[in-house]
A and B are shown apart, each in its own frame.
Chain A
């Protein structure tokens, strides 16, 4: 077990390093443009550009530049040249909103994804299955930000059922926190509900053909018990794997949804920085976002290995 954890975490560290190199290359080394000019924002003065060049050491050899860049991002003295704000500080401030959005959306999509997938599989080929299939394929095909814009217009601006955006802290007013987040949660969850219900459906249909399901039926268990205890449980493995992979999808979606609902989280910070071509925040968000995803996946794998010995044994046999 310890062996597996060490190997998995060492792999993650290697990926983290490669990711940091790629982020560095994207922002500092892309040819045909002066990196200092890009960092400086939309309308820089020559003095500012010269200052940035000096500060970031763009004349240094590349490995030195890499160290300077990473040092700036991780030590917390990365500054936006457009707004003069401390980038890491802004990111930390945005985390509660982004976390509320992402966790809530994940809970909603898991619940409805599993519910729809279960109903679809139990009634495979029937009317309900067909209706849910249409709903799922529609869900997969909707642009997230468009759904958010439409929901916002019709359920908030026009009818006033929900507040029109903004973020209220959970600790201050839990009820307001939830009402402000319902539409963002739905927008972010819609695609994934369709997707997860399809995955669960096909996974359940596979499991239904297994011998142990026949055995469960043969020993006289009720259909419902067979479905929930024997089929559904064993079909959830791909869902758990998917959830690990989709942390990245959540972060990407958060940028789009936060921008529309003005949630003031990390995603909206990224969106505002994009609009003003403000590079340092984008650099930090990209790096931290990718790091977060890699660490989540590594932790998920380790947790997995605790639960399922086949994984760690299969892993060390390689």
Chain B
């Protein structure tokens, strides 16, 4: 405070709210800002896919060029040679066509697929994290506010999902839905739609956010301001949305960030196993699976999509940690949120 100019006499001292303070702490964290920048670059990279595809590469993500030739510095080269080996990175040798080479026997443009794959992977990770966070907060609020049998019901249901190994449950759902798709009432999701992995990933990770949220609601519920609101005649909805939810905001923001990171890893694993994003659509996970068949001759096809996942997840984890530091500097829980240890007293049933 010493270096701040003294306010003129009589002027009110401007208070700084908790959000201002958090923003201040966040902007002082240079490492976090660097990773925020990196994440923004990755998003721009993915969003720019159609532009690059149309104006530079002149091809789509699923367009095959098996028997075609591409002109490199005035010399025609096969996109896929007779032994099935794809052309390597041409950089700007062909005006940006096959910038990173072709992706295998089908001769698709690796750069275009990497960008479109990023769109798919990011879209799935973000959407499923929204679903996870929304449902987890709703369940946590209901369980923590009503307590009693509502809490018992919700907590037991979460315990059962928790008891399943995440990947096994997701695989089981993935393969069961891979054949016929899903139909709930009037809503039909055909097999092969990316909404299937989105719903699966969004669903199986709910307990890992819902349990800590419930714990926090249970303790907030005892606070005086909640009692005051009830005494003023506020109904359950008003208390949950008007009083409890704002107090959960920092938890929600941090969990959302980390959910995006975890969901991206889960999507890539499911897609790698063939029960996530379905071919010919690209996602970083399916690209690793495809590239792995050629890893000895064209390791770049495996390295690139994996590096993209690593960088994205890494930046989200760093940002999530920094957000937690900024929003709740006294919080003891750091990376433990990954395993749902945020509620240490809860014995896993």
Q: How far is the CA of A5 from the CA of B268 in the complex (A)?
A: 40
Are B332 and A202 in touch, CB under 8 angstroms? yes
Are A279 and B175 in touch, CB under 8 angstroms? yes
Q: How far is the CA of A255 from the CA of B167 in the complex (A)?
A: 9
Picked from B165, B175, B347, B349, the residue with its CB within 8 Å of the CB of A249 is B165
- Whether, in the assembled complex, A100 has its beta carbon less than 8 Å from a beta carbon of chain B, the answer is no
Interfacial chain A residues near B348, Cβ < 8 Å: 244-245, 297
Are A251 and B183 in touch, CB under 8 angstroms? no
Are A32 and B299 in touch, CB under 8 angstroms? no
Picked from B182, B321, B344, the residue with its CB within 8 Å of the CB of A238 is B344
Are A140 and B175 in touch, CB under 8 angstroms? no
The stretch from A75-83, A169-177, A267-275 touching chain B is: A267-275
Picked from B163, B172, B306, B341, the residue with its CB within 8 Å of the CB of A150 is B306
Q: How far is the CA of A270 from the CA of B188 in the complex (A)?
A: 28
Interfacial chain B residues near A195, Cβ < 8 Å: 335, 338-339
Picked from A34, A141, A199, A274, the residue with its CB within 8 Å of the CB of B275 is A274
Q: How far is the CA of A216 from the CA of B236 in the complex (A)?
A: 51
Interfacial chain B residues near A301, Cβ < 8 Å: 347
Are B163 and A286 in touch, CB under 8 angstroms? no
Picked from A153, A242, A248, the residue with its CB within 8 Å of the CB of B168 is A248
Interfacial chain B residues near A199, Cβ < 8 Å: 335-336, 339, 341
- Whether, in the assembled complex, B169 has its beta carbon less than 8 Å from a beta carbon of chain A, the answer is yes
The residue of chain A having its C-beta at the shortest distance from the C-beta of B338 within the complex is A195
Interfacial chain B residues near A34, Cβ < 8 Å: 180
Are B314 and A141 in touch, CB under 8 angstroms? yes
Number of interface residues of A (CB under 8 A): 70
Are B179 and A33 in touch, CB under 8 angstroms? yes
| Residues 291-349 (chain B) with a chain A CB within 8 angstroms | 292, 295-296, 299, 302-303, 306, 309-310, 313-314, 317-318, 321, 332-336, 338-341, 344, 347-349
| Residues 89-147 (chain A) with a chain B CB within 8 angstroms | 136-138, 140-146
Interface residue tally on B, bucketed by range: 35 or more
Interfacial chain A residues near B335, Cβ < 8 Å: 136, 140, 195, 198-199, 202
- Whether, in the assembled complex, B164 has its beta carbon less than 8 Å from a beta carbon of chain A, the answer is yes
Are A277 and B265 in touch, CB under 8 angstroms? no
Are B309 and A202 in touch, CB under 8 angstroms? no
Picked from B171, B177, B344, the residue with its CB within 8 Å of the CB of A270 is B171
Are A145 and B302 in touch, CB under 8 angstroms? no
Are A12 and B349 in touch, CB under 8 angstroms? yes
Q: How far is the CA of A145 from the CA of B289 in the complex (A)?
A: 9
- Whether, in the assembled complex, B49 has its beta carbon less than 8 Å from a beta carbon of chain A, the answer is no
Interfacial chain A residues near B341, Cβ < 8 Å: 199, 238, 241-242
The residue of chain A having its C-beta at the shortest distance from the C-beta of B346 within the complex is A241
The residue of chain B having its C-beta at the shortest distance from the C-beta of A250 within the complex is B165
Interfacial chain B residues near A283, Cβ < 8 Å: 172
Are B165 and A293 in touch, CB under 8 angstroms? yes
- Whether, in the assembled complex, A189 has its beta carbon less than 8 Å from a beta carbon of chain B, the answer is no
In whole Å, how far is B130's beta carbon from the nearest beta carbon of chain A? 21
Q: How far is the CA of A145 from the CA of B181 in the complex (A)?
A: 27
Dominant secondary structure of chain A at its interface with chain B? helix
The stretch from A23-31, A49-57, A60-68, A224-232 touching chain B is: A23-31
| Residues 124-171 (chain B) with a chain A CB within 8 angstroms | 159-160, 163-169, 171
Are B332 and A277 in touch, CB under 8 angstroms? no
- Whether, in the assembled complex, A289 has its beta carbon less than 8 Å from a beta carbon of chain B, the answer is yes
- Whether, in the assembled complex, B261 has its beta carbon less than 8 Å from a beta carbon of chain A, the answer is yes
- Whether, in the assembled complex, B80 has its beta carbon less than 8 Å from a beta carbon of chain A, the answer is no
Are A32 and B182 in touch, CB under 8 angstroms? yes
Q: How far is the CA of A24 from the CA of B268 in the complex (A)?
A: 26
The residue of chain B having its C-beta at the shortest distance from the C-beta of A147 within the complex is B306
Picked from A32, A256, A275, A290, the residue with its CB within 8 Å of the CB of B165 is A290
- Whether, in the assembled complex, B176 has its beta carbon less than 8 Å from a beta carbon of chain A, the answer is yes
| Residues 234-285 (chain A) with a chain B CB within 8 angstroms | 238, 241-242, 244-249, 251-253, 255-256, 259-260, 270-271, 274-275, 277, 279, 282-283, 285
The residue of chain A having its C-beta at the shortest distance from the C-beta of B157 within the complex is A18
Map CB proximity to A onto B100-131 as digits: 1 under 8 Å, 0 otherwise.
00000000000000000000000000000000
In whole Å, how far is B140's beta carbon from the nearest beta carbon of chain A? 19
Q: How far is the CA of A17 from the CA of B166 in the complex (A)?
A: 18
The residue of chain B having its C-beta at the shortest distance from the C-beta of A244 within the complex is B348
- Whether, in the assembled complex, B184 has its beta carbon less than 8 Å from a beta carbon of chain A, the answer is yes
Interfacial chain A residues near B168, Cβ < 8 Å: 248, 251-252, 255, 285-286, 289-290
| Residues 8-24 (chain A) with a chain B CB within 8 angstroms | 11-12, 15, 18-19, 22-23
- Whether, in the assembled complex, A74 has its beta carbon less than 8 Å from a beta carbon of chain B, the answer is no
Are B160 and A15 in touch, CB under 8 angstroms? yes
- Whether, in the assembled complex, A72 has its beta carbon less than 8 Å from a beta carbon of chain B, the answer is no
Are B160 and A19 in touch, CB under 8 angstroms? yes
Q: How far is the CA of A293 from the CA of B91 in the complex (A)?
A: 49
Interfacial chain A residues near B210, Cβ < 8 Å: none
Q: How far is the CA of A199 from the CA of B336 in the complex (A)?
A: 6
Interfacial chain B residues near A136, Cβ < 8 Å: 335
Interfacial chain A residues near B332, Cβ < 8 Å: 202, 206
- Whether, in the assembled complex, B244 has its beta carbon less than 8 Å from a beta carbon of chain A, the answer is no
Are B172 and A23 in touch, CB under 8 angstroms? yes
Interfacial chain B residues near A157, Cβ < 8 Å: 295-296
Interface pairs (11), CB distance under 8 Å: A19-B164, A27-B176, A145-B272, A202-B332, A238-B336, A252-B269, A255-B167, A274-B171, A275-B274, A290-B163, A290-B164
Not counting A202-B332, A279-B176, A290-B164, a sample of 18 additional A-B residue pairs whose C-beta atoms are within 8 angstroms of each other reads A27-B176, A30-B177, A38-B180, A140-B338, A143-B306, A143-B313, A146-B288, A153-B295, A157-B295, A248-B165, A248-B166, A249-B165, A256-B272, A279-B175, A282-B171, A282-B172, A297-B163, A315-B347
- Nearest 6 pairs of A and B residues by beta carbon: A33-B180, A252-B167, A248-B165, A32-B183, A146-B306, A141-B313
